[in-house]
Amino acid sequence: MPKSVQIFNKISDHYEKFNFVSSLGIEKFWRKKLKKFVDGKNNLILDLGTGTGVFTEEIRDRGIIIGIDPSLKMIMRGREKREFIKFVLGVGEKLPFKDESFNYIVSAYVMRNLDSVEITLSESLRVLKPGGKMIILEFFPPKNIFFRFFYKFYLGIVIPFFYKIFYEDSLPVKYFSNSIFTFINVSEFLGLLNKIGFVKIKIVKNFFGISFYFFGEKSG
Ligand SMILES: C[S@@+](CC[C@H](N)C(=O)[O-])C[C@H]1O[C@@H](n2cnc3c(N)ncnc32)[C@H](O)[C@@H]1O
């Protein structure tokens, strides 16, 4: 079982509320952008690290959606809320799908929680159809030194303080902050996509570079 799964099992009941409040509602706008990037109606789409499935809310009319995640509790919560997703228990490092199955793989805030980003990206490339697209949304620390300082203080001190008042344990949110500040940087992540073999790689920056969309295709 991946290391981060215990954390997500623990916070599954209030995961979506926590995301909304801790991002002051902003991350909802980034999620909504996904709709612009997924074309057509008859796709087979994999949501990698789907959690409760919230990322695919906006693209539910774009085809069949399969969500994979190793956290049983996140999946159970998702099943109650989102009947349109076919949930599968599993990890990105060993996708239980045939080669060249999917038109799209989408994945939000998962990369820095993986045991191996490299293996998961290779697996993703394997199960994408030729011409299929990978779309990743991920947090990164901002480059601006002042904003970075404020952001680190907000995520590492302010949020855990309030979280502890409501939920009596600040560990899960400290994990959240650490995972952002200890993950590889944007250029390293782009290098990895390139090394694994994705083509037509692009990025879109969100809100002063605290999150990015990454796009890559399987050559076809
Ligand atoms: C921050 S949550 C994101 C959930 C969802 N994608 C969203 O947009 O809200 C990260 C998710 O990654 C999942 N995860 C952790 N390790 C994983 C792995 N090795 N393979 C796939 N998913 C993993 C966790 O269980 C968790 O549900």
142 DSSP 8-state letter: -
Contacts of 176 (CB under 8 A, 6+ apart): 22, 155, 159
22 close to ligand 1 (CB < 6 Angstrom): no
pLDDT of residue 22: 82
Give whole-number Cα distances, 49 to 17, 34, 170, 201, 210, in Å: 18, 16, 23, 21, 20
**Ligand 1 atom with least separation from CA of 74:** 27
pLDDT of residue 166: 80
pLDDT of residue 113: 95
Measured in Å, residue 147 CA sits from the centre of ligand 1 at 27
**Domains of the chain as residue ranges with CATH:** 5-141+184-217 (3.40.50.150)
Contacts of 3 (CB under 8 A, 6+ apart): 115
Sign for the pseudo-dihedral over CA of 25, 120, 56, 219 = positive
In whole angstroms, what separates CA 184 from the centre of its chain?
15
Query: For each of the chain's 220 residues, which pLDDT tens digit applies?
Result: 777 899 999 999 989 988 888 888 888 999 999 999 999 999 999 999 999 999 999 999 999 999 999 999 999 999 999 999 999 999 999 999 999 999 999 999 999 999 999 999 999 999 999 999 999 999 999 989 999 999 999 999 998 888 888 877 777 788 888 999 999 999 999 999 999 999 999 999 998 889 999 999 999 8
80 touches 102 (CB < 8 A):
no
Closest alpha carbon to 31 in 156, 174, 141, 135? 135
**Ligand 1 atom with least separation from CA of 4:** 15
Nearest CA to ligand 1 atom 13: 49
